[in-house]
Structure 1
Amino acid sequence: MKAKITPFLLFKDEAEAAANFYVSVFNGKLLKVDTYPEGTPMPAGTVLTATFEILGMTMTALNWGMEAKYLETISFAIEPETQEEVDYYWNALIADSGEEGPCSWLKDKYGVSWQVAPEILPRLMSDPDPKKASAVMQAMMKMKKIIIKDIQAAYDNA
């Protein structure tokens, strides 16, 4: 059996725009745009789905004609390696009415939740020395966007 998971993101009528947004942020690729055929509740030619690839993951944006409400219970995590990458993804995803959240979380302009948590964060938080791991956790809890040098300093000074 060859199974794969493809996340579907629901939109009232912004599927193609959202797909293009994610493709631009992640230097991805728009793979396919399908439209509603004649005889469906939506006007023929209206975008049904926009399938795209970002960071090696295929995703589909679907216009379903109703408002979509995203919750924090599902999010996409990005693990940048440098502060420059953290800053880039953070700023790009909160641009145009996105919202900052605590501890590396944010919502983009479509309401989709993301975690921009550099790869060093879980590595330092899982240190076998509980004082070091706790210091990193405490530093992170005070942040919105993660600042790698501050996380590293908390670890080094514990």
Structure 2
Amino acid sequence: MAPRLIPTLWYSEKAEEAAAFYVSLLPESRVDCVRALPADSPSGPAGSVKIVEFTLLGRPFMAFSAGRFEDFNHAISFSIECDDQAEIDRLWEALGDGGTYEPCGWLKDRYGVSWQIAPKALGELMKDADPARARRVAEAMLTMTKLDLAALQRAYDGA
């Protein structure tokens, strides 16, 4: 059996709440298991550390509520490729609620995790063999906070 890669998130608190929030937004997602660490650890006595196993978009994740360690930062983010503007808008509003919106389709959620909410088409538009088209799309994207699929397509088309 091949090894599995499982992204793991360390929250100072509220890992279970964060996992429940994420799974409520994405299909093929669920909280699989919540348990307390049954032994003393550097983060606290037995039972004080929560371990949450969950699935997002069919992929396994793990989270801990284990006290203050390090803040999340932009070095790690999760990208969600959306089929249409309605999905971009829905996830943008939900994940950004209580967090901060950032340029180029990035946001930090209320738990401090960075997300990139983008149309699936963006990658293809920016990889176009015509460098002028790809540049126009990139330049348009760089002026946006929430990405606008129609505006990116207009930039691609030269309109």
TM-score normalised to structure 2 length: 0.91
User: In 2, are the aligned partners of 1:11 and 1:64 still within 8 Å (CA)?
Assistant: yes
Q: What is the match of residue 7 of structure 1?
A: 7
Q: Which runs of 5+ in 2 are unaligned?
A: none
Select which of 61, 78, 81 maps to 1:79: 81
What do the CA deviations read for 1:32-59 (whole angstroms, capped 9, x no partner)?
0111326556354445211111101111
CA RMSD of aligned residues (A): 1.6
Select which of 60, 63, 71 maps to 1:61: 63
Secondary structure in structure 2 of the residue aligned to 1:144: coil
User: In 1, are the aligned partners of 2:49 and 2:66 still within 8 Å (CA)?
Assistant: no
More moved, 32-41 vs 8-17: 32-41
User: In 1, are the aligned partners of 2:8 and 2:63 still within 8 Å (CA)?
Assistant: yes
Q: In structure 1, how many angstroms separate the alpha carbons of the residues matched to 2:84 and 2:39?
A: 49
User: In 2, are the aligned partners of 1:16 and 1:47 still within 8 Å (CA)?
Assistant: no
Q: In structure 2, how many angstroms separate the alpha carbons of the residues matched to 1:89 and 1:127?
A: 27
Q: How many residues are paired up?
A: 157
What do the CA deviations read for 1:84-129 (whole angstroms, capped 9, x no partner)?
0100111111012x11111111111111111111111110011011
Secondary structure in structure 2 of the residue aligned to 1:60: strand
2:95 counterpart of 1:93: yes
Q: What is the match of residue 50 of structure 1?
A: 52
2:10 counterpart of 1:25: no
Equivalent AA in structure 1 for residue 26 of structure 2: F
Q: In structure 2, how many angstroms separate the alpha carbons of the residues matched to 1:38 and 1:61?
A: 17
Deviation at 1:71, TM superposition (A): 1.0
User: In 2, are the aligned partners of 1:80 and 1:118 still within 8 Å (CA)?
Assistant: yes
User: In 2, are the aligned partners of 1:25 and 1:89 still within 8 Å (CA)?
Assistant: yes
Q: Which runs of 5+ in 1 are unaligned?
A: none
Q: What is the match of residue 117 of structure 1?
A: 118
Q: In structure 1, how many angstroms separate the alpha carbons of the residues matched to 2:157 and 2:66?
A: 50
Q: In structure 2, how many angstroms separate the alpha carbons of the residues matched to 1:131 and 1:65?
A: 49
Q: In structure 2, how many angstroms separate the alpha carbons of the residues matched to 1:118 and 1:61?
A: 27
Q: What is the match of residue 104 of structure 1?
A: 105
Q: In structure 1, how many angstroms separate the alpha carbons of the residues matched to 2:130 and 2:40?
A: 64
Q: In structure 2, how many angstroms separate the alpha carbons of the residues matched to 1:45 and 1:80?
A: 39
